[in-house]
Amino acid sequence: MTAITASEEIVLEQPCPIRDVLDRIGDQWSLLILEALAPGTLRFNALMREIGDISKQMLSRTLKQLEQDGFITRTLYPEVPLRVEYALTPLGHSFLEPMQQLVAWADTHHRTIVAARLQYQASQT
Amino acid sequence: MTAITASEEIVLEQPCPIRDVLDRIGDQWSLLILEALAPGTLRFNALMREIGDISKQMLSRTLKQLEQDGFITRTLYPEVPLRVEYALTPLGHSFLEPMQQLVAWADTHHRTIVAARLQYQASQT
DNA sequence: CTGAATCCTATGGGATACTG
DNA sequence: CAGTATCCCATAGGATTCAG
């Protein structure tokens, strides 16, 4: 079938655990979403505003992925107009801990990296 | 110019530090390479064997990126046949510390995630 | 309001052949 | 041995439109 599967299939598992996890949250948006939800529950449009430059498309897709993987919960309130709230699960919260270490590292060493790039560029004449 | 720039331009910096860092090492190979170099210096083909399923193309590109950003050094020994050795810099080593936390997290919670996927799949009837 | 479907482009990454 | 250049395909992601 060359056709794109309409209801996107769920890939259950990849060989390497770390790859499996990083492939999922290593995209452009997952991490941003998780951190946006760290302070507390948010609705779809609130997330849009919070993140700023994400498209509805990608927010929707990524939220679904994160829900699949158990990082967040999606709660539908069948009111009019519709209300949907997203929140971190305990798994999602626990993930942010090691992640904060990385964020801290990035903040600390960012200038070093930029400097390295400048130096490399200069060394290439 | 629609033509692809032959000598790939160096992007010096992106607005958000964490994005800037993650965009660079969030690809499919950077992390694997860094961890392969953790025990010590390796040559090009040794890295190929160590990583297993990477193409020369991607290994070459990614090594260059990592060198640019100051994570690794490239040392050329102009012998015959040519010998090139790659090694972590202090920056590269320091990066692996927070990264180990994440790897540990992934190992610990991998089964939970797979379980979540199964449950989600089931819940979709 | 909360998405799903469609269309389109840019990029990541593999395979292969060629060079110093 | 250590790459670079070229070709090609699959996927990420934006914009827009449609639906519940």
* Contact status, residue A26 vs residue B29, Cβ threshold 8 Å: no
Binary contact (A117, B91; C-beta < 8 A): no
Indicate the length of chain B as a whole number: 125
pLDDT higher than 50, residue B121: yes
**Quick one: pLDDT at residue A6?**
45
* Contact status, residue A80 vs residue A40, Cβ threshold 8 Å: no
pLDDT higher than 60, residue B64: yes
* Contact status, residue B26 vs residue B19, Cβ threshold 8 Å: no
**Quick one: pLDDT at residue B1?**
34
Q: What percent of chain B has pLDDT over 70?
A: 92
Q: For nucleotide D3, give the residue with the nearest CA to its C1'.
A: B60
State which H helix or E strand residue A74 sits in: strand A72-77
Chain B residues close to A17, C-beta within 8 Å: 106-107, 110
Mean predicted lDDT score pLDDT of chain B: 89
* Contact status, residue B31 vs residue A73, Cβ threshold 8 Å: no
The edge-to-edge listing of strands for the beta sheet with B42-43 is: B42-43, B83-88, B72-77
**Quick one: pLDDT at residue A74?**
98
3-state secondary structure of A77: strand
pLDDT higher than 70, residue B55: yes
pLDDT confidence band for A4 (50 / 70 / 90): very low
**Quick one: pLDDT at residue B124?**
82
Binary contact (B94, A113; C-beta < 8 A): no
Interchain CB contact of B123 with A (< 8 Å): no
Binary contact (B20, A110; C-beta < 8 A): yes
**Quick one: pLDDT at residue A21?**
87
Structure tokens at A102: 């990385």
Q: Establish whether the CB of A82 is closer than 7 Å to any nucleic acid atom in strand C.
A: yes
**How many residue contacts between A and B have a Cβ separation below 8 Å?**
127
**Quick one: pLDDT at residue A8?**
67
Q: What is the dihedral of CA A119, A124, B5, B6, to 10 degrees?
A: -150
**Which residues from 53-112 of A have any strand D atom under 7 Å from their CB?**
53-58, 81-82
CB neighbours of residue A40 within 10 Å: 9
Q: Which residues of B74-92 are buried (b: 16+ CB within 10 A; e: fewer)?
A: eeeeeeeeeeeebebbeeb
Q: What is the mean pLDDT of residues B61-70?
A: 96
Q: Establish whether the CB of A47 is closer than 7 Å to any nucleic acid atom in strand C.
A: no
Please give the nucleotide, over all strands, whose C1' is closest to the CA of residue A60: C3
* Among the listed residues B34, B27, B103, the one whose alpha carbon sits nearest the alpha carbon of residue A101: B103
The C1' atom of D20 and the CA atom of B17 lie apart, in whole Å, by 40
* Contact status, residue A17 vs residue B106, Cβ threshold 8 Å: yes
Strands (E), B1-125: 42-43, 72-77, 83-88
Q: Establish whether the CB of A27 is closer than 7 Å to any nucleic acid atom in strand D.
A: yes
pLDDT confidence band for A14 (50 / 70 / 90): confident
How does pLDDT run across B4-41, given as a tens digit for each residue? 344 567 778 777 888 888 888 888 899 999 999 999 99
How does pLDDT run across A19-39, given as a tens digit for each residue? 888 888 888 899 999 999 999
In angstroms, the separation between the Cα of residue B25 and the nearest Cα of chain A is: 9
In angstroms, the separation between the Cα of residue B34 and the nearest Cα of chain A is: 14
